[in-house]
Amino acid sequence: MTSTTDLSIEQRRALLDAWVEKRRQIARLEAEASDILAERMRLCTAESDEHPYHRDAIHRSMVAEYAAAGRMSQGSVEYALTDAGFLADGHHPRVQEAFRAGAISAAHVREIVRAAGVVREAVNNRRTDPDVLPFYDSAAVIVAEHETPARTRAQMRELAAALADSTTVERHERAASERTVTVRSADDGLSVMTVVLPEYLATAIHDRLTRLARVVIAGRSGAEPRFETTDSRTIDQVRTDLLIDLLLASDPSAANGSGLDSIQARIQVTVAATTLAGIDDRPAHLDGHGPLHPDVARDLAGRNGGWSRLFLDPSGLVAETDAYTPTESMRRFLRARDQHCRFPGCRMPVHRCQIDHTFDHAKGGRTEIHNLGHLCATHHVLKHPDVGDDHRWTAHQLPDGTIDWRSPLGRTYRDSPPRRVMFV
C-alpha cells in the first residue's frame, strides 16, 4: 500500500524533474535567441561596412531597437549581442553545443566568454599556442555543467589566467580599469550601492569604517549619567551612516582638484504640501526610484531651499510650476515632468540629459513644452538628421507629454511621462 508520504516524495521529485527540464528548455530557447542575435550582428556589420561614417549610429540604433522590443536594458542587450558574436564566430564550439543542448544556461555562457578574453587575447598576440582555446572550451563545459555561473566564473578566470600565462600583477592591473559604482533599487526606500574597486582598498575602507564605528559605539557607555542616550544602532548601521557622512559631507582632497568643491549631490523629491506641513504622513516620492519616507522629505526640505512647487492635474501629471522667467519655467517644468531620459526603458536622470525638440527645430518645430523632452546623449543621436533613414528613429509627442517612438523597422514604442499618483 502506497503511503501519503511516498506520494508526497514522488510528487516533489516529479516537480523537481519538471522544473529542471523546463530550465533546459529555456536554455535551448536562449541558445536559439543567441543565434538570432548573431545573425543580426552579421547584418549590422555588413551595413556598417557599407556606411562606415554611420557605423556607431547603426549599432546604437540596433541595440536600442532590441532593448525597446524586449523591454530590456541596453547593457543587457549589448552583452547578449557580444556573447552571441563570440559563439557564432567559432571561438567556443563546445560551449555553443552545450548551450544548444540546454546543458548550460545563458548566464554560464556569459561568464565563460568573459573569462576567455585573456586567452583569446594571448592567442591573437601569439603569446600562447592556439590549441589552448579548445582546451579551455572543453574545461569550461565540464565546470559549467556542475557549477553555478558564479562558481564557473571563479574557476574559469583562474584557468584562463594560467593558460594565457598572465601573472597576478597583470590581471590586477587590467582589472583596475573595471572599477565602477552602480546603484539599484532594493524597494522599501532602500538602494544597493555596488562599488567595484581594488580589493586591498575595499578591505582598508571596511577596516577604517569598522574602527570608527567601534569608537562611536564605545562612546555610548562613556556618556555621563545625566544624559540619556537613544543610539541603539548596530555596527553595520553605524558603518553605513559614517560612510554616508564621509562621502557627502567631507571636503575633496587637494589631489582631486579644487574644481570639486562646488559639486553637490542632487536628487528630485515630490512631496505634498500637506505632508510638508505635518498635516498627514503620505509618502513622498524620490523621482525615478520610488516612495520616500515623509520624515526624510521634511528633513530635506528644511535643509535645502532649492525646491520647485509642482501643480498636478487630476490624472497625476504635472500641469505647471511656479517660476521667475519663462525660459527657466519651461526647464523646471520639463525636469519635473520627465525625471529621466524619455526613450523607452532609459533611466538616465534629467541632470545628465539634454532638452531636445521632439519635432526638429530646424524643420519648424516650436520651442514649447509639448515639443520638448529630455534625452540622454545615446538616444539623442538616434533621431539626429545626419543618420540615414534606414537607421534613424523618429518621435512624436502627444499633448499629455507621451512620446511615441517609431523605429527604423516601423515598430512604435511608447514612453509616457511618470505620474505621481500618490498625491491624486
* Helices 93-100 + 4-50 axis angle, to 10: 130
In this structure, what C-alpha cell is assigned to residue 38? 548573431
What is the rounded CA–CA span in Å between residue 218 and residue 207? Answer: 16
pLDDT level of residue 94 (50, 70, 90 thresholds): very high
Check the CA dihedral 61-64-70-74 and report its sign.
Answer: positive
Does the structure show a pLDDT above 60 at 260?
A: no
The confidence score (pLDDT) of residue 270 equals 74
CB within 8 A of 388, min separation 6: which ones?
51, 54
Q: Quick one: which of 287, 289, 291, 264 has its CA closest to 275?
A: 291
Listed ranges 130-134, 348-352, 416-420; the one with the highest mean pLDDT:
130-134
pLDDT per residue as tens digits for the range 185-223 = 877 778 888 898 877 678 778 888 887 888 888 777 655
> CA-to-CA distance for 310 and 308, rounded, in angstroms?
6
Question: CA 163 to CA 137: how far, in whole Å?
Answer: 12
Q: What are the phi and psi torsion angles at 187 (to 5°)? A: 70, 170
Classified as helix, coil or strand, 182 is strand
Higher pLDDT pick, 20 / 262: 20
- Distance of alpha carbon 294 from alpha carbon 281, whole angstroms: 6
| Cβ atoms within 10 Å of 422's Cβ, excluding its own | 15
**Domain parsing of the chain, residue ranges:** 4-177, 186-260, 269-307, 318-423
